[in-house]
């Protein structure tokens, strides 16, 4: 018999240790340093005979959606003890958590999955994708040579909390599925022990400044003959070109790798020989629409129109209905209706279309969306489109 409830203050360290053990690690951090970043009321602990056999946590975090931003439930620290896998512990825990989000009035949840096969059965769909890049330095010539009027400067790690957070915010504010990095994350990165250690492989920060204003930055390290770019954010195309050019031209290196780039990043179009850029795609954040009509009202729509959607949702029965969505760039309404549906789909697929990660037409070609009214797929694609592809380079 399983019991699920939040952990108490006295159980916090045991709960953390169980989570670490489930992922094959021992708890390395001081629980007292971590405690302020956890809301115990938002923890879930699964008990069997008084022992913690599973757990999860959630945070209220800000996420951009097309045309707007909203507070969502960020799911993290999900774990099941190795002694209790494949016994339904995860299923019961996830259902419990989704019901809790609904009771709290939180219409969207999100998580980053260590295994992509796990969360689809709970109604989560891929909400963003990113690319990993690799290119030989000899093939990094730009197709157009343009002089930069700005300057590249090194930023002391202890100073990254000053200008970089605002650059991050301004350069990503229109990106769907973006999470703003919280102040304590910037502070933690600025105080990382690696900055005081000697030897190769340390992390460097550079900024691009124009008219005494920081317009972009990059964080990179060199590993052998490889430059690894952890992050590159730019508010302007001039900043972007200058930062890439700097990273490509680091002496005594032969290869450049970039860890997480958006699917519509302009760099492949800037390169003179884009075929040389090796690209691999991977899922980023996973999204779950906990309350479909409320979630659909949160975002804005590229084209003004209305659609009637039949939604299937076995886990959250309040979503199992037909809804009429009326949306525009100014706002949206979504209500249950008795009208005949234009499209029929599962809540998991709707979550992926919600952020713009995939079009309804692509989902229909994959067999996941049924077009009942002729032309509804194209109308849905136009409504749910966005200027930029969703991107989630930072975990909450």
Catalytically active residues, by annotation: 119, 396
Tokens 């419990």 sit on residue:
96
Question: Could you tell me which residues come within 8 angstroms of residue 12 by beta carbon, excluding any fewer than 6 positions away?
Answer: 31, 35, 38, 40
Strands 68-80 and 108-112: parallel
CA 92 to chain centre: 25
Compute the distance between CA of residue 394 and CA of residue 112 in angstroms, rounded to an integer.
10
The residues with which 3 forms a beta bridge, in sequence order, are: 47
> Looking at the chain, how many residues does it have?
396
How many helices and strands, by DSSP H and E, does the chain display? 11, 19
Which residues are CB-neighbours of 303 under 8 A, at least 6 positions away?
Answer: 328, 379, 382, 383, 385
What letter would DSSP give residue 85? T
**Which ranges in 157-259 belong to alpha helices (H)?**
164-172, 183-190, 237-248
Provide the Cα torsion 184, 189, 194, 196; round to 10°.
Answer: -80
Sign, CA dihedral 343-346-347-349, equals negative
């Amino acid at each position: 018999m399983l019991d699920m409830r939040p952990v108490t203050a006295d159980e916090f360290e045991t709960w953390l240790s169980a989570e670490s053990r489930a992922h094959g690690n021992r708890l390395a951090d001081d629980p007292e340093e971590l405690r302020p970043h956890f809301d115990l009321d938002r923890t879930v602990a699964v008990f069997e005979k008084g022992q913690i056999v599973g757990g999860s946590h959630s945070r209220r975090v800000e996420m951009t959606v097309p045309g707007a931003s909203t507070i969502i439930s960020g799911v993290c620290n999900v774990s099941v003890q190795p002694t209790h896998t494949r016994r339904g512990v995860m299923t019961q825990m996830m259902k419990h958590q989704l019901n809790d989000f609904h009771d709290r009035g939180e219409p969207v949840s999100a998580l980053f999955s260590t295994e992509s096969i796990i969360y689809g059965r709970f109604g989560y769909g891929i909400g963003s994708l990113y690319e990993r890049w690799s290119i030989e330095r000899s093939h990094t010539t730009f197709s157009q040579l343009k002089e930069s009027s700005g300057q590249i400067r090194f930023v002391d790690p202890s100073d990254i909390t000053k200008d970089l957070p605002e650059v991050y915010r301004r350069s990503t504010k229109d990106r769907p599925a973006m999470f703003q990095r919280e102040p304590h994350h910037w502070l933690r990165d600025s105080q990382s022990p690696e900055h005081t250690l000697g030897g190769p492989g340390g992390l460097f920060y550079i900024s691009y400044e124009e008219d005494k204003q920081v317009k972009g930055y990059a964080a990179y390290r060199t590993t052998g003959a490889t430059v690894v770019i952890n992050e590159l954010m730019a508010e302007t195309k001039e900043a972007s070109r200058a930062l890439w050019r700097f990273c490509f031209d680091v002496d005594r290196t032969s290869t450049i790798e970039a860890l997480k780039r958006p699917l519509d990043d302009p760099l492949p179009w800037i390169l003179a020989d884009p075929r040389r850029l090796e690209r691999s795609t991977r899922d980023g954040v996973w999204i779950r629409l906990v309350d479909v009509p409320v979630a659909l009202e949160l975002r804005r729509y590229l084209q003004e129109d209305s659609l009637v959607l039949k939604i299937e949702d076995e886990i959250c029965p309040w979503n199992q209905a037909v809804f009429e969505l009326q949306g525009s760039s100014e706002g949206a309404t979504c209500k249950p209706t008795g009208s005949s549906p234009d499209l029929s789909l599962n809540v998991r697929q709707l979550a992926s279309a919600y952020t713009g990660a995939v079009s309804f037409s692509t989902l229909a070609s994959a067999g996941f969306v049924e077009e009942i009214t002729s032309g509804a797929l194209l109308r849905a694609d136009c409504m749910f489109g966005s200027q930029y592809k969703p991107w989630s380079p930072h975990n909450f």
